[in-house]
Amino acid sequence: MNKRFAALTATLLIAGTLAACGQKEEVQPTTPAESTPAPTAPAASPGATPGTTQGEGGSQTAQAEALYKAQCIACHGTDLGGGIGPNLQKAGSRLSEADVKNILLNGKGGMPAFKGTLSDADIQALSAWLAAKK
């Protein structure tokens, strides 16, 4: 009985992980009273990594990290170390930003395409963030 339960649990865990890969996270709309104006992002300094800004973590970096957590973590791991999908810790050392963007838009292997799921700004932020991982 315990072996059957363990096998069933493992099967459900794998199925849930695969189902979560590529799903869009739903965001609850806010009312005007709840919303606050978005702060303007500071300009990138000359030594900044392309696609990021200096200041409080950089708005594109924060955006990319949030997207990664919502869309990619199930397959690529909490530390970008891989799992179902490949290791992304040094993705920028083997892929250009254009390569990463192409993979995000069109998918590759078992990875789904995010062309209709993520906005152009989201794709750009995530591409720049991953390409900076050297």
Feature table: binding site for heme c: 72, 75-76, 111
Element (H, E) at 12: helix 2-20
Give, rounded to a whole angstrom, the gap between the first and last alpha carbons of the chain: 48
CA–CA distance, 133 with 93 (Å, rounded to integer): 7
Task: Please give the structure tokens belonging to residue 39.
Answer: 């702060």
Judged on CB neighbours under 10 Å (0-12, 13-18, 19+), 92 is buried
H/E stretch holding 19:
helix 2-20
Bind-site residues: 72, 75-76, 111
Residues 75, 84: contact at Cβ < 8 Å?
A: yes
